[in-house]
Structure 1
Amino acid sequence: MSVRLAGVAIFMIAALYTWYGRDYTASFGDVLGPSVFPMIVGIPAMILSASLVVFPTGQVAWPDRSHMLRQVAALAILLGYAFLLLPLGFPLATFGLIAGMGIVLGGSPVKAIILGAFFAPALWALFDQVLGLPLAVLGRWFT
């Protein structure tokens, strides 16, 4: 039963992803436009998740409580990143994401903070300066 429930959940997420991504537009990019990528990812995800509902196989071993809490914490960090990206700006939000995920995944807090402090501006420079994808340094809260 758990495999079928997972299949239904994945199908719903893929369907929403495909539905909301179909009208995505950008002022730069490929001739086909950026709305093609959600279709390329979403449609096969829906087909594969539907196969889990129709043809469930295997047994599901649920993780223990500590692993479940780590997964919930990781999900909360990812959702927080999505909500705080515009208000904080890319480097600060990405710093929080990298440092938080490093700690949740069992790393040393000092090392996670150092990695976040190094990689957040490095990723901003890569995307903004090298690849030419405009990312705000400061978010709405700071401008």
Structure 2
Amino acid sequence: MSVRLAGVAIFMIAALFTWYGRGYTASFGDVLGPGVFPVIVGIPAMILSASLVVFPSGQVEWPERPYLVRQLAALAILAGYAWLLGPLGFPLATFGLIVGIGIVLGGAPLKAVILGALFAPALWALFDQVLGLPLAVLGDWFG
């Protein structure tokens, strides 16, 4: 039953991803536009997840409670990152992501903060300055 429930959940996420992503536009990109990517990913994901519902196989073993809590915390941090990326801007939101995931994965908090402080601006510089993908330094809340 768990395999079928996972198949239904993945199907719904893929369907929403495809539906909302198909109208995405950007001022840069390839000739087809960025709205094609969600369709290319979403349709096969829907087909494969539907196959889990129709043809379930294997036995599912759920992780123990501490591991499940860590997985849910990581998902919450990733959702928070997506939600705060616009208001905070790329470097600050990415700093929070790196620190949060580092702590959830069992890293020392001080090391996670140092890593976030180093990698967040480095990733911004890589994407914005080197690759030419415009990313906001400060988000909507700051300016």
Considering the TM-score relative to the shorter chain, is it more than 0.5? yes
Report the Cα offset of residue 141 of structure 1.
Answer: 1.7
Task: Return the letter of the residue paired with 2:95.
Answer: F
* 1:142 alignment partner, SS class: coil
**In 2, Cα distance between the equivalents of 1:20 and 1:142?**
27
Match of 2:119 in 1: 119
**In 2, Cα distance between the equivalents of 1:103 and 1:71?**
12
Between the aligned residues of both structures, percent identity stands at 84
Q: Deviations over 1:88-132 (max 9, x none)?
A: 111000000011001101111111111111110001001111111
Match of 1:72 in 2: 72
Match of 1:17 in 2: 17
Unaligned ranges ≥5, structure 1: none
TM-score scaled by structure 1? 0.97
Report the Cα offset of residue 48 of structure 1.
Answer: 0.5
Unaligned ranges ≥5, structure 2: none
Report the Cα offset of residue 140 of structure 1.
Answer: 1.7
* 1:141 alignment partner, SS class: coil
**In 2, Cα distance between the equivalents of 1:142 and 1:18?**
31
* 2:141 alignment partner, SS class: helix
Q: Deviations over 1:4-45 (max 9, x none)?
A: 000000000000000111111111110111111101100110
* 2:19 alignment partner, SS class: helix
**How many equivalent residue pairs?**
143
**In 2, Cα distance between the equivalents of 1:82 and 1:7?**
24
Q: What RMSD over aligned residues (CA atoms) do the two structures have, in Å? A: 0.8
Match of 2:102 in 1: 102
**Matching of residues 74-89 of structure 1 within 5 Å:** 74-89=74-89
Report the Cα offset of residue 86 of structure 1.
Answer: 1.2
The farther-off stretch of 71-80 and 8-17 is: 71-80
Runs of 4+ in structure 1 over 2 Å off: none
